[in-house]
Homo-oligomer: A and B are copies of this chain.
C-alpha cells in the first residue's frame, strides 16, 4: 500500500472515531505528517484525494478557519466524474440523458407541491434574451424539481448532470431557434405539480425531455 493511501485510511478512521462532522478542522499538514511519521507530501496527496471527493476544503492563512476543514460537497466530484468519463467515451450522452429522465420522472412522481424556485425560474425564462440565459433558468427549473423530491443524493447527481450537459443544452437551444414548445412544457409540468397530479406531472416531464432529446443528441 502506498503511503498516502495509509494516510487516507488513518484520516478516515479518525473522522469516524472522533465523530468529526462538517465544519470541524483537521490537524495541519505538518502536524499530521509528524503524528503519522510520514513526509508532508504524502499527507498532501491524501488531502488532495479528500478534496477531490468533496470532503475537505483547504484554506490558507491563519486563524480558526484556516487549514483543512471538513465539508460535504459531492456535486463537484460527480460533475468532474461525468465530464471526464464522457470525454473518454465510456459513457454516452444518451446514457447520461436517460439517467436524467429517470431522476426527473422519479422526482415528479413524488413532489407534493411546486417549490417557489420553480415559479421563479419559469418567469425568468420568459425574459431570457440569449440561449445561455434561457438554459440557465431552464436548469434552475429542473434542479428545483429534483430538490423538491428531498433526496440529497439525487439532487447532487442532478447538479452534476447539469454541469456535464450545459454546453450541449446551449447548443441545442441555439439550433432550435425558438423555445416556445419547451416553455409550454414547463408550464404544463408546473401546473400538474401544483395541482398535485403526479401521473400528469410524470407524463409532462417525459414528454418535455423527449422533445429536448431530439435536439441534444447528434
Which residues of A does B touch, CB under 8 Å? 4, 12, 15-16, 21-22, 41, 44-45, 48-50, 52-55, 70, 72, 74, 77-78, 80-82, 84-85, 87-92, 95-96, 98-99, 102-103, 106, 151-154, 157
Residue of B4, B74, B81, B152 touching A74 (CB-CB under 8 A): B81
CA distance A77 to B84 in the complex (A): 12
B52 touches A72 (CB 8 A): no
B55 touches A85 (CB 8 A): yes
Q: Which residues of B contact A98 (CB under 8 A)?
A: 151
Q: Which residues of B contact A12 (CB under 8 A)?
A: 84, 87
User: What is the distance, in angstroms, from A149's C-beta to the closest C-beta of chain B?
Assistant: 9
User: What is the distance, in angstroms, from A164's C-beta to the closest C-beta of chain B?
Assistant: 10
Main secondary structure of the interface of A (DSSP, over half): helix
A99 touches B153 (CB 8 A): yes
B106 touches A55 (CB 8 A): no
Residue of B22, B80, B103 touching A102 (CB-CB under 8 A): B103
User: What is the distance, in angstroms, from A78's C-beta to the closest C-beta of chain B?
Assistant: 7
Q: Which residues of B contact A87 (CB under 8 A)?
A: 12, 15-16
Q: Which residues of B contact A49 (CB under 8 A)?
A: 48-49, 52
Q: Which residues of B contact A151 (CB under 8 A)?
A: 95, 98-99
